[in-house]
């Protein structure tokens, strides 16, 4: 929209100018409003093309790494990566349900990944295999993913410490 400005992460110290309705009411503001600087860098909660695993080769590399944890109806496989962020691949078979149910579960899992990826340790290529179950809430899927990624990170660190292969 014309006339509206957005504040980027680098310029988050002041609030953009808004029309002065206080001046019309003869109200003065003793000090300008400022935003509190964030303690950590700005994070983008996006799920772009780069956040997806693409192709059979990428999936096979994760499957052959043999780093797997089950969390509720999800089996999460992981492989450490040099990418600057986690990447996600989903497999939902027809045994889970009809197309509507499968796509809803996939949307919820992508959303849980998008919202929580910055809180997870390490950087991994993740493949989530969904087993048949009744659809859960977004919070439940986010909890299952977080639990699995935390457990996978512990196992991956133990492998790295003893000099095992990372895949």
Tell me the pLDDT of the chain averaged across its residues: 77
- pLDDT tens string 17-42: 445 444 554 555 555 554 444 445 55
pTM of the model: 0.69
Locate all alpha helices (DSSP H) within the chain, ordered by sequence.
Answer: 21-24, 55-65, 99-116, 138-161
As a residue count, the chain comes to 167
- pLDDT tens string 120-142: 888 889 999 999 999 899 999 99
Task: For each of the domains in the chain, give its residue range(s) and CATH number, in order of start.
Answer: 49-161 (3.30.230.10)
- pLDDT tens string 54-70: 888 888 888 898 899 99
CA pair distance 9, 75, nearest whole angstrom: 36
């Amino acid at each position: 929209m014309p006339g509206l400005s957005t504040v980027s992460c680098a310029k988050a110290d002041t609030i953009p100018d808004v029309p002065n309705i206080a001046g019309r009411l003869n109200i003065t503001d003793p000090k300008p409003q400022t935003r509190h600087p964030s303690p950590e860098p700005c994070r983008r909660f996006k799920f772009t093309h780069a956040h997806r695993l693409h192709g059979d080769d990428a999936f096979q590399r994760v499957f052959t790494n043999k780093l797997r944890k089950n969390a509720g109806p999800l089996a999460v496989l992981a492989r450490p990566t040099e990418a600057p962020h986690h990447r996600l691949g989903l497999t939902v078979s027809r045994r889970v349900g009809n197309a509507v149910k499968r796509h809803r579960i996939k949307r919820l899992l992508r959303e849980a990944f998008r919202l929580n990826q910055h809180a997870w340790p390490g950087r991994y290529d993740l493949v989530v295999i969904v087993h048949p179950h009744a659809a859960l809430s977004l919070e439940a899927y986010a909890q299952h993913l977080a639990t699995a990624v935390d457990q996978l990170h512990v196992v991956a660190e133990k492998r790295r410490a003893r000099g095992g292969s990372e895949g």
